[in-house]
């Protein structure tokens, strides 16, 4: 019978198993198993060095990559107001806060607040909501549902537009 070496204590043992010990995967013998957590086989083989972190990281990655349909809720279409910068600046000054004060309350750097106030940086929807809450202002306005003229069930195509343009030329 072939013997292998326990990676934890160095003893020659008949078999080893993969265990997680202090965030490190080791092949350890039966005597050292009490010091770690057994690694369960994953769907594609064995789990990685940090089994608890991999699924969480994959889940977070999936959330980042998912696209959000901003037009999914037809009843409440809102858009950031064009003059968001001056509104933020005026409300901040009215409260007597510095850019650093506002940045600390919304989790943004002072430079980012300055760029938002100047209109050079459009705040994300999440940041805009934080700004609205802290300053007591409204940065969104409702927009009308804009629909395009459709023909039949397929809708307008580029070919339809070209045909219309050619008819107008004649």
Domains defined along the chain, listed by start:
1-46 (no CATH), 78-142 (1.10.260.40)
Question: Residues 31-78: pLDDT tens digits?
Answer: 999 988 998 765 444 444 444 555 666 676 777 666 665 555 555 588
pLDDT confidence bin for 110, thresholds 50/70/90? very high
Q: How many CA atoms lie within 13 A of 84 on its CB side?
A: 24
49 neighbors 24 (Cβ within 8 angstroms): yes
List the Cα angle 92/93/96 in 5-degree steps: 95
Least confident of 24-33, 66-75, 101-110, 150-159: 66-75
pLDDT confidence bin for 169, thresholds 50/70/90? confident
The pair phi, psi for residue 79, each rounded to 5°, is -140, 145
pTM: 0.45
List the Cα angle 92/139/97 in 5-degree steps: 10
The mean pLDDT value of the chain amounts to: 80
Mean pLDDT along residues 6-11: 88
Question: Residues 139-154: pLDDT tens digits?
Answer: 999 887 655 454 454 5
What is the structure's pLDDT at 50? 46
């Amino acid at each position: 019978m072939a013997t292998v070496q326990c990676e934890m204590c160095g003893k020659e043992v008949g078999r080893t198993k993969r265990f997680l010990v202090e965030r490190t995967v080791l092949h350890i013998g039966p005597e050292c198993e009490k010091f770690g957590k057994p690694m369960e086989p994953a769907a594609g083989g064995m789990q990685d060095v940090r089994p608890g972190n991999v699924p969480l990281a994959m889940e977070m990655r999936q959330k980042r990559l998912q696209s959000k349909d901003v037009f999914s809720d037809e009843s409440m279409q809102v858009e950031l107001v064009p003059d968001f910068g001056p509104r933020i600046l005026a409300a901040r000054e009215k409260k007597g806060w510095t850019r650093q004060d506002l940045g600390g309350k919304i989790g943004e750097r002072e430079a980012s607040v300055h760029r938002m106030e100047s209109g050079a940086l459009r705040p994300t929807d999440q940041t805009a909501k934080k700004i609205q809450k802290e300053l007591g202002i409204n940065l969104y306005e409702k927009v009308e549902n804009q629909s395009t003229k459709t023909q039949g069930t397929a809708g307008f195509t580029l070919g339809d537009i070209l045909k219309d343009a050619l008819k107008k030329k004649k």
